[in-house]
Amino acid sequence: MGILQFFCLGPIGTVLAIVFGYLGMQKAKQGLATNGGVAKAGFILGIIGAGLSVVGFIFWIIFIVAAGASSSY
């Protein structure tokens, strides 16, 4: 999910990467899974994707406001 969010899943993949990464890290701590590193990587990529989504949304809002301000009827 952490990698797919950047290519095809977008914000949905971001949320899933964070949730699945967190759950995977908890299972690894409990000794029920051996993929703690992969889970941590997915969680970190999910956090990075969330940050990039917020920055992209802010730029999008700025662009819309600037485009509206520059057009005169």
User: In angstroms, rounded to a whole number, what is the distance separating the alpha carbons of residues 19 and 1?
Assistant: 10
Query: SS3 for 6?
Result: helix
Q: Which domain holds residue 62?
A: 4-70
User: In angstroms, rounded to a whole number, what is the distance separating the alpha carbons of residues 4 and 46?
Assistant: 10
Domain count within the chain: 1
67/43: higher pLDDT:
43
Residue 5 near residue 44, CB atoms below 8 Å: no
List, for residues 5-33, the tens digit of each pLDDT value.
878 888 888 999 999 999 999 999 999 98
pTM given for the model: 0.76
- E strands, the chain, in order: none
pLDDT category at 44 given cuts 50, 70, 90 is very high
